[in-house]
Copies of this chain bind each other. A is one copy, B any other.
Amino acid sequence: MEYYSEKISRLISELASLPGIGAKSAQRLAFYMLDCPKDKTEKLISVIRDAKENVKYCSKCFCLTDKEICPICSNPNRDAKILMVVESTKDMAAYERIGKFNGRYHVLNGVISPMLGIGPSDIKIKELLLRLQQEPVEEVVIATNSSVEGEATAMYISKLLKPAGIKVSRIANGIPVGGDLEYIDEVTLLRALEGRIIL
């Protein structure tokens, strides 16, 4: 980076500190920003600030939103009897995109990870239990990721809820649609076999 003058180097290294932006992309972005009209960078800046200042957690489901209560929680047409537990707002959006789930969500904003020092009290599990007391939920679908931490978190929540007599389910593991068996890992192959559906 020392081949650029200081203010350019600082811009490149600041951009390179963002997730998913490597040295080359940072350089490309920096020169784009230097070249583009000032309106463009000022718009980016105002959009970042506006989101940063106004986006908070929904007070019911804890997804990120610019409303006090998010549009899903405040929509009376969404089925309050089925609650999907996800790790993040991004995962909630992934299910919203398919448009086939009409229940509500609960966003944990993390997963239990002893490696990173994240315990059950650091994610929104207490808040989930509180909701289950207040809302007419009949089934909790756990949709945390299939990572070690996601599985452990699913297990933890399941053990917590089952004694309370709530129906708890977990989204299925299996072969991704279009996936080629020969490239799929052993654990997934096994889960797909165990979870086979009688035709």
Contacts and interface: CB of A to CB of B under 8 A. Distances in A.
Interface of A: 3-8, 10-11, 14-15, 18-21, 25, 27-34, 38, 41, 43-45, 47-52, 54-55, 64-67, 70-71, 88-90, 92-93, 96-97
Given A20-B25, A28-B20, A31-B88, A6 B97 contact: no
A62 to B, nearest CB: 13
Given A3-B93, A5-B65, A5-B70, A51 B11 contact: yes
A110 to B, nearest CB: 10
B64 A27 contact: no
Nearest to A44: B14
A93 B28 CA distance: 13
A52 B7 CA distance: 9
A1 to B, nearest CB: 9
B55 A7 contact: yes
A67 to B, nearest CB: 6
B4 A89 contact: yes
Contact of A66 (B6, B43, B70): B6
Contacts of A21: 25, 29
Nearest to A40: B17
Nearest to A14: B47
A113 B84 CA distance: 54
Nearest to A64: B34
B54 A7 contact: yes
Given A14-B44, A28-B20, A43-B14, A34 B8 contact: no
Contacts of A6: 66
Given A11-B48, A49-B41, A52-B33, A66 B5 contact: yes
Given A20-B28, A55-B5, A90-B27, A48 B33 contact: yes
Given A8-B55, A33-B51, A34-B51, 10 more contacts: A5-B66, A5-B67, A7-B55, A7-B66, A8-B89, A11-B51, A14-B48, A20-B25, A41-B48, A45-B45
